[in-house]
Amino acid sequence: MKRILTLALVSILSASCLAQQHPGAEDFAARAASEYNLDQEEIVLLLQDARFKQSIVNAISRPAEGKPWFEYRPIFITDKRIRGGVDFWRENEVLINQASERFGVDPEIIVAIIGVETFYGRITGGYRVLDALTTLSFYYPDTGNDRSDFFSRELMQFLLLGREEGLPLRDVTGSYAGAMGLGQFMPSSYREYAVDLDGDGRRDLWSSMSDVIGSVANYLHRHGWEYGQPVTYAAEVSEDADMDLVTRRDFKPKMTAAELAGGGFAPRAPVDSDMPAAVVRLEEQEGDSYWITFENFYVITRYNRSPLYAMAVFELSEAIREGFQQ
């Protein structure tokens, strides 16, 4: 009996020794209470259980999207990931068809997003989301682009998600940035776009394949996916092309295909001349390649802002579709 008491005491003591006070956490908890009617005391205790992780700071300081295209592409466009996508599609064909029809999103894009995000659920991230969002809210590294406000908002959304979905906030795991489940939804996206497609009353982005596939499709649908429309075509670039037309940040098409052709960037496949389009440059091993991108390309960048990401999803989707149709 005495031994058990001693053990209990030791574990209480070590728990309290481990309790961390994060800079700004008190204010955050007060805001959670005043703005969202969350229990302030509970949030304080929850945040004391959150751990600062140097590995998360390191990971956010060197994202894969900082690489040139020719180094980024081989991470995602592999035979294994293509075959995995074909298998995933075959295994979930009924659900994928359902989601594709209901939300008007091409099936190969749903498959490719899940493939790029988590290798079809094989790698969903081993960080506690609580640790990830706390670290990035209160200890964001000096990278010249302070995103701590973004992560602080996501931390708040995570708390609200816990209340709404009954998620065990101390146990939920995800990526180093706090993205969750097979489709890697950030808390705000989870709240806004996840769907309960299997109708069991919960939106489960880990173990309900129906909810996972439906949620990815709904996300793309809500951001404006156009079924059956092209994502991007390679561009033929004339010698006197106007390089100021190349898009660097916002991939929302602002010109027409005809205007871009007039500026020296012609798509290598026929498109309507009034089709909204943009031009994207990718860094190849030798020189650059140029791509005419359309609304659907922009929609993929709503999932991840990087044009490299959108191009990887597109290329993977094409390869998977070919494999699936064989």
- Give me the active site residues, please: 117
Minimum CB separation from Ca ion for residue 187, in Å?
18
Cβ 211 to Ca ion shortest distance, Å: 4
Which lies closer to Ca ion via its Cβ, residue 216 or residue 316?
A: 216
Binding mask 52-91 for Ca ion (x = CB under 5 A): ----------------------------------------
Is residue 208 a contact residue for Ca ion (CB under 5 A)?
Answer: yes
Contact pick of 200, 272, 274, 284 for Ca ion (by CB under 5 A): 200
- What phi, psi does 293 have (nearest 5°)? -110, 150
CB of 208 to Ca ion, least distance (A): 5
CA nearest neighbour of 176 among 43, 51, 278? 51
Nearer to Ca ion by C-beta: 166 or 270? 166
Residue from 196, 226, 283, 318 binding Ca ion (CB under 5 A) = 196
Q: Which of 211, 212, 275, 303 binds Ca ion (CB under 5 A)?
A: 211
Q: Are 32 and 156 in contact (CB under 8 A)?
A: yes
Q: Quick check: 215 binds Ca ion (CB under 5 A)?
A: no
Instruction: Sort 22 into a burial class: Cβ within 10 Å, 0-12 / 13-18 / 19+.
Output: middle
Question: With binding defined as CB under 5 A, does residue 164 bind Ca ion?
Answer: no
Q: Cβ distance 293 to 265 under 8 Å?
A: no
With vertex at residue 117, the alpha carbon angle to CA 141 and CA 113, rounded to the nearest 5 degrees, is: 135
> Per this entry, what is the length of the chain?
326
Residue 190 binds Ca ion (CB under 5 A): no
Q: Which helix (H) or strand (E) holds 278?
A: strand 276-283
Please give the Cα distance from 108 to 301 (Å, whole number).
16
Query: Binding residues for Ca ion, per CB under 5 A?
Result: 196, 198, 200, 202, 204, 208, 211
